[in-house]
Chains A and B, each alone.
Chain A
Amino acid sequence: MSNDLPFSTDPLSRRQLLKAGAGVVAGGTLATLLGASGPVASAFASTAKVPTPTVKPTIDGDLNWLTWAEYIPPKVVTSFEKKYGVKVTQSYMTDDEQYVQKLAAGEPFDLITTNSAYLPQSVGGNLLQTFDPSDLKNFHQLIDFYQHPFYDDAQYRYTVPYGYGPTGIAYLSNKVSNVSHTWNDLFDHPEAKGHVYVLDQLEETIGAALLRDGYPLNSGSSAQVQKAVKSLMTLKPDLGGITTNVTPLLTSGQGWLVHAWATNVYEAIEASKTPEDIKFYLPTDGAPVAADTLSIGKNAKSPGTALLFIDWVLQEDNNYALGQYAAQKTGAKGGNAAFDDLVKKYPMFKFDDEKVLSDRGNWKIYPTGSRLSLYNQEWNAFEA
């Protein structure tokens, strides 16, 4: 294995990793934490000396936004359009890789719903531009963690949080019982044969198998990754599918034991005729997390409008509406309060920010370089 892996190639248990993490001072980079080198590490490390921003929050044209479908309350957009007399055009993507590819191809999106797991690529590929957080009137709305998130903690920033929630396991309680609340549940419920589903995202599914085996979520060790994929191979005969289209699986009753993002499970419960049967938990052996974030594109034609819109989203009332609409925490006071209100009905979605966010071992990093080659090869073998 070449030395450009972003993470140590030595077998390192999750516990060892966390122990190592405890020795790192607050505000240190993920790269430092993981003893990393190479492109991913340097991408995070470079946040310490990010370019000085040129953008100011002021209207400089209509807004062209690349985002997920139905990911913002329409009223938040229309009220912005009305107040500032601009048009907001949303283009939709179906996975995070798409925005990386579109920006890399030079497409001039002003605003992009990015993801923390892809920040090393986005920064390393020079796809985003920085802004000064002190230019945002509502920056103080962010909860403490997101005032200085370790993945973007320099004086100038590439991101503000938009929404986040951990990955866990959903199951139908009328079909599956005796769950152990660990990732092993996916592997250990023969009664669900043909109805077990895992996410069609290599970093998620290999990550879950790594956690199950007691390895770090973002391991770069070929031995650990190969062992994890070997475990996944044993699961394959029981699988109903490999998909990110989780919501309909749960509402239709097709998926009994499903690797899922909390927000999709919430959606499924809202749409289901038998919501009481759908349960969700965060496995005790690790709850992978990443944050959807807002960023300004390198080739933005209206970066000022984009920054103004970012500030608009952080505004407490708008953020509350966002949290309520997307049914997830937003990292700002408004959205987090909305989520807390929503989950009063479903306490299973509650998670402790302190526990989930501050444990850096929980944060997903999309692989690059040799680690990507390793993950791709193993993932292809699994899917084939």
Chain B
Amino acid sequence: MRRPNRRIYDFLLLPGGIVQLLLFLVPIGAVVLFSFGTTNIVGLPKIGFTWANYSEALQSFYIPVLLRTALFAAVATVICILLGYPLAYYAARYAPRLGRVMIAATVLTWLVDYLVRIYAWTALLDDNGLINNVISDLGFGRVQMLGSNGAVVVGLVYVYLPLMVLPVYASLTDLDPALIEAGKDLYGSPRATFWHVTLPSTRRGVLGGVLLVFLPALGDFATAQFLGGPQSAMIGNVINDQFTNSGSATFGSALTVLLLIVLLVGLLVVGRFARGAISGARTGVPA
């Protein structure tokens, strides 16, 4: 068989490569550069070399914020799995037509602007909002929800759930039904078949969902800004403040670089785990 000229592939990579370079690597490079600089009177970065931004970023009071951010993102990710997997499973296995509608309904929320959706949650959760009115009408007292850590997690789950559902749904629809039949033929109960056949075969989708939910949730700031309270600040809020309110883009850049490092390390760890899990699923040997 004649192999296509490799140059054609190289050429096809060029437009995407240029876009990546301009829209991703150059801004990241600028952020790294600014993180070692100082600011002028109007808050614009001045190129230079100082560790001051990093030494400030490593102040102890940022550690609780980082831990809180990781906790919010992790809890939101787990809840997204618990909610998203059954939804995707039901849609893929038992109700193809209705399932597609359900998936579409979940994804449709993304057509509405992010801030509008979060604002809608403030109206639902505030002391005189819809949820509290219902609770109150049922005879229970009003509960202060807005401004709590729980409200932030609810917001994160709401925002990122579609990013969990879609890859899980895709992996479930790719799953060969004969595998499940084989599990049953081997006298596996539905539960045993799910745990030993379906779930391992869809780990790739779940891990994809975990990455798609956890990583952006780590960098989120609007959810905590609108739904959270003074004890709910995420690292994204601190970074956002440096660029928008504090005229301190260089310090914000240093925080961004540190967050990127944390994200990259997380990505490597999850990637390593994913490789093991997927190869385990392929060979049938638990990872």
The interface of chain A, by Cβ under 8 A from chain B, is 39, 43, 95, 97-98, 100-101, 103-105, 120-122, 124-125, 127, 194, 200-202, 236-237, 239-242, 248, 252-254, 368-369, 372-373, 376-377, 379-381, 383-384
Residues of A near B44 (CB, < 8 A) are 101, 104-105
Query: Does A253 lie within 8 Å of B241, measured CB to CB?
Result: no
Q: Provided the pairs A121-B42, A239-B230, A376-B251 are in contact, do residues A381 and B127 lie with their beta carbons within 8 angstroms?
A: no
Residues of B near A202 (CB, < 8 A) are 245-246
What 0/1 readout, one digit per residue, does chain B (56-86) give for beta carbons within 8 Å of chain A? 1001011011000000000000000000000
- Beyond contacts A242-B230, A252-B128: 9 other A-B pairs, Cβ-Cβ < 8 A, are A97-B246, A124-B42, A201-B245, A202-B246, A241-B228, A253-B128, A254-B146, A369-B41, A376-B242
- Complex alpha-carbon distance, A376 and B250, angstroms: 12
A-B contact pairs, 22 of them (CB 8 A): A97-B244, A100-B42, A100-B43, A100-B247, A103-B42, A105-B44, A121-B43, A121-B247, A122-B42, A236-B230, A239-B229, A240-B146, A240-B147, A241-B147, A253-B128, A254-B128, A368-B247, A376-B248, A383-B233, A383-B238, A384-B65, A384-B238
Which residue of B62, B144, B246 contacts A194 across the interface (Cβ within 8 Å)?
B144
Query: Does A240 lie within 8 Å of B238, measured CB to CB?
Result: no
Query: Does B246 lie within 8 Å of A372, measured CB to CB?
Result: yes
- Complex alpha-carbon distance, A216 and B21, angstroms: 49
Residues of B near A201 (CB, < 8 A) are 245
Q: Provided the pairs A124-B42, A384-B238 are in contact, do residues A372 and B126 lie with their beta carbons within 8 angstroms?
A: no
Residues of A near B127 (CB, < 8 A) are 252-254
- Complex alpha-carbon distance, A43 and B40, angstroms: 13
Segment 153-167 of B: residues with Cβ below 8 Å from A: none
Which residue of A122, A127, A254, A380 contacts B61 across the interface (Cβ within 8 Å)?
A380
Is B173 interfacial (CB 8 A cutoff)? no
Shortest distance between the CB of A253 and any CB in chain B (Å): 5
Is B231 interfacial (CB 8 A cutoff)? yes
Shortest distance between the CB of A361 and any CB in chain B (Å): 23
Residues of A near B231 (CB, < 8 A) are 236-237
A-side interface mostly: helix
- Complex alpha-carbon distance, A127 and B147, angstroms: 38
Which residue of B has the minimal Cβ distance to A240? B147
Residues of B near A372 (CB, < 8 A) are 246-248
- Complex alpha-carbon distance, A383 and B233, angstroms: 7
Shortest distance between the CB of A175 and any CB in chain B (Å): 11
What 0/1 readout, one digit per residue, does chain B (241-275) give for beta carbons within 8 Å of chain A? 11011111001000000000000000000000000
Shortest distance between the CB of A105 and any CB in chain B (Å): 8
What 0/1 readout, one digit per residue, does chain B (121-164) give for beta carbons within 8 Å of chain A? 01000111100000000000000101100000000000000000
Nearest 8 Cβ contacts at the A-B interface: A125-B42, A104-B42, A239-B230, A124-B41, A384-B61, A384-B65, A381-B61, A240-B147
Which residue of B has the minimal Cβ distance to A368? B41
Q: Provided the pairs A95-B244, A372-B247 are in contact, do residues A101 and B128 lie with their beta carbons within 8 angstroms?
A: no
Q: Provided the pairs A240-B147, A241-B230, A384-B61 are in contact, do residues A95 and B41 lie with their beta carbons within 8 angstroms?
A: no
Is B237 interfacial (CB 8 A cutoff)? yes
Shortest distance between the CB of B229 and any CB in chain A (Å): 5
Residues of B near A383 (CB, < 8 A) are 230, 233, 237-238, 241
